[in-house]
Amino acid sequence: MSGIEVAGLVLGAFPVAIELLEKYREVATRAGLFYQIKLKHRQCRNRLECERLVFTGNLKQLLLPLVADDEKITDMISNPGGSEWKDKATSDLLRKRLKDSYDVYMNCIEHLEGVMNKLIHELALDSDTVQKSLGDPKLPISKERIKNTITKTGIEYQAYKIKFSNGESIRNSLFKELGSLNKRLEQLLSISDKEAQLMEDRQASALTSAIDSAICNLWVNANRLFEALASAWRCSCQGQHSTRLLLQHRDTKKSEFNVFFAKPEDSRWRIQETRISEDDSSASELAKNESKNGICSAVCSHEPVSHLVKLPKKSAMKSKAKVMPRPTPTVTLMTSPAKPSVPTIKPIANLCISLDNNNASCYGFLPHDDCRYYVYRVPHQHIKTLESVTLDQIFRGQVSKPPNRRQRLALSFILSSSFLQLLDTPWLTVSWAKSDILFMLDPNNPGVYALDRPHLYRNLAERSCQKQSDENITKSLRQLGIVLLELCFGRLLEDQPCRKKWPSVDDENTKSALDLAAALDWLQEVEGEAGPDYASAVGWCLLATRPSRWRQEMLRKVVKPLEGCHQCLVSQGNS
């Protein structure tokens, strides 16, 4: 018998004992023999009911993570002897859940079964007379009490009363043991659950740590990608191209980038959205699927057909005929069946030409040192125009529907995370210039800008990027802090009284110092507008002096608090 079956038997013993106690109370009351032990009998019933509830709660806590079907759990609790308690799969899951506590838990269950049997015996519920009387509804009424006390049944009921009264200490001991076992079951289950939770938390922490590390180190891949794209941009129309990188926070370890490429063609823009990743699994799968359909889109359409497949080192056809030694010479030409062509993912020699391949699902890969960046085509959802609005234009009221509070907090979170990922790369040599952050028209809502998808415009011809000094990083962080302030209130710093009280100057260093002084004054109003976490994040940007491992520090003190502010606002349904 499995441990889970024994648990079912114990569960079934409680209602049996309670029911028998209740029925015996009715019989003894009608016989007029119950009044002397009425109080103690009620106490026994209440203690049994209490322990039953505790044990049932323990079982439910045990079964809930194992059994997905609530109806099945209800059936198991209401039918302790049912077939569900014999289910091997449930028993195996129970062992897996309890792990090292399984044997101790089951020993405790078996011990509890023994205590219940002793308790039932001690309550004299296994008495033959009691059992017979319980099944007989025709018992004398209380006015025949004296007569009943001298009958055989009455004498046995009197003996039951004496045993019940004298057995109080034993019953109390058994009830105490029952309560102790129930508590031990609860403790064992709690230990097992805490261990499982700690393991889950550790795994989640490890995953979070890996994602955080990937975010903080993404600038390395961003730098390589820019160089790989710039190296593959070898066309005479390079100066006419538009390249826009989607800014986004990342919640996975994958280094993926969404990039828009556009070039003028016949008085309109030819626009293509791409997803660029180091992962080649999608490219290989696409190549196999398209090979079955007779299409190879993993290479440029302008390349010769002979480059679509890898050629064997030797021809599949034998060059010499084999002469058989027969009277009449004959020549037999032996051929081997040609193997099906397997498309290969080719390097992109000229990105401009490769992007012209409308049938491509993967344009190929961009090689860079010891890594490859695979360029996948993303359906552009009928995007026919590069019309966009900049963050600066939004602040200056040049859009009919400015971003609401929730959208502004989302932008604060995305821009701060993207700043951390891209600063010190050709994508972002200095802090955000609000005129470089673009919002394109939403293809699904004509005339509406997609304010939740900010893009960064960059010229791929500008490859040079000198490593930032500590002073420049501090300055960039302060500029970011000012942008976060402006997003908090939806207004420009230059329009605020705290900045207007200072003069306008042409010297860049003096202007930066005055902007910082005004921003620190404005910072005092942030907590009332967006809460303490937002204010703390802005304050860190304005006052930070480029600590060591500044990306990790910024992730902890800026990006994550801003993410929390945004999620809190979304959960509340505020706009």
Residue at 298 is within a domain: yes
Q: Report yes or no: 164 and 21 within 8 Å, Cβ to Cβ.
A: no
Report the CATH number at residue 417.
1.10.510
Q: What is the mean pLDDT of residues 169-191?
A: 85
Do 375 and 276 meet the contact criterion of CB atoms below 8 Å apart? yes
Distances 317 to 339, 343, 450 between C-alpha atoms, Å: 12, 21, 59
Q: Decide which of 519 and 309 is more confident.
A: 519
In a domain, 229, yes or no: yes
* Range of weakest confidence among 237-246, 255-264, 377-386: 377-386
What is the model's pLDDT at position 445? Answer: 80
Reported in sequence order, the residue ranges of 204-313 that DSSP labels E, i.e. its strands, are: 242-246, 256-265, 268-277
Residues 558, 421 within the same domain: yes
Q: Are residues 228 and 148 in the same domain?
A: no
Burial letters 132-160, b for 16+ CB under 10 A, else e: ebbeeeebeeeeeeeebeeeebbebbeeb
Nearest to 26 by CA among 117, 130, 126: 130
The answer for residues whose C-beta is within 8 angstroms of residue 286's C-beta and 6 or more apart is 297, 298, 361, 362, 376
Q: Is residue 317 part of a domain?
A: no
pTM: 0.60
Considering the domain architecture, whether residues 280 and 399 belong to the same structural domain is answered as no
Domain end point (choices 185, 210, 235): 210
pLDDT surpassing 80 at residue 488: yes
Q: Is 440 found in the same domain as 360? A: no
Residue 203 and residue 142 share a domain: yes
Cα(196)–Cα(349) distance, integer angstroms: 52
Domain assignment present for residue 256? The answer is: no
- Whether 284 and 399 share a structural domain: no
Amino acid (1-letter code) at residue 455 = H
- Predicted confidence band at 518 (pLDDT cuts at 50, 70, 90)? very high
State how many domains the chain has.
3
- Amino acid 316: pLDDT: 38
In a domain, 146, yes or no: yes
Record the tokens describing residue 301, joined without a space: 């359409």
Q: Answer whether residue 493 shows pLDDT above 80.
A: yes
Q: Which of 248, 254, 252, 258 is nearest to 563 (CA)?
A: 248
Please say whether the beta carbons of 312 and 409 come within 8 A: no
Listed residues 353, 378, 403: the one ending a domain: 378
- pLDDT > 70 in the chain, percent: 74
Q: Which residue has the tokens 């299409």?
A: 295
First to last CA, the chain: 60
> Comparing 324 with 538, which gets the higher pLDDT?
538
Q: Quote the DSSP letter at residue 97.
A: H
- Assess if residue 414 is contained within a domain: yes
pLDDT for res 391: 94
469 and 361 in a common domain: no
Same domain, 299 and 190: no
Residues 451 and 563 in one domain: yes
Q: How far is CA 176 from the centre of its chain?
A: 45
Rounded Cα distance between 198 and 200, Å, is 5
> Measuring CA to CA, which residue among 313, 284, 281 is closest to residue 296?
284
The pLDDT score that the predictor gives to residue 323 is 43
Range of the domain at 111: 3-210
At 283 the pLDDT is 58
- Indicate the pLDDT class of residue 100, thresholds 50, 70 and 90: confident
Residues 186 and 293 in one domain: no
Pair (348, 465) in one structural domain: no
Q: Which of 73-77, 237-241, 499-503 has the highest mean pLDDT?
A: 499-503
Range of lowest pLDDT (62-76, 320-334, 427-441): 320-334
- Residue 17 CB contacts under 8 Å (≥ 6 apart), including other chains: 48, 116, 119, 120, 123, 125
To which residue do tokens 């293809």 refer?
443
Residue 553 lies in a domain: yes
pLDDT, averaged across the chain: 78
pLDDT band at 297 (very low <50, low <70, confident <90, very high): very low
Q: Which of 91-105, 398-412, 484-498 shows the lowest mean pLDDT across its residues?
A: 91-105
* 99, burial (CB in 10 Å: exposed 0-12, middle 13-18, buried 19+): exposed
* Cβ-contact 62, 106 below 8 angstroms: no
Give domain status of residue 457, yes or no. Answer: yes
Do 398 and 298 lie in one domain? The reply is no
Which of 1-15, 181-195, 257-271, 386-400 is predicted least confidently? 1-15
Cα 270 to Cα 268: distance, rounded to the nearest angstrom:
7
Question: Domain boundary at 349, 378, 407, which?
Answer: 378
Whole-angstrom distance, CA of residue 523 vs CA of residue 519: 6
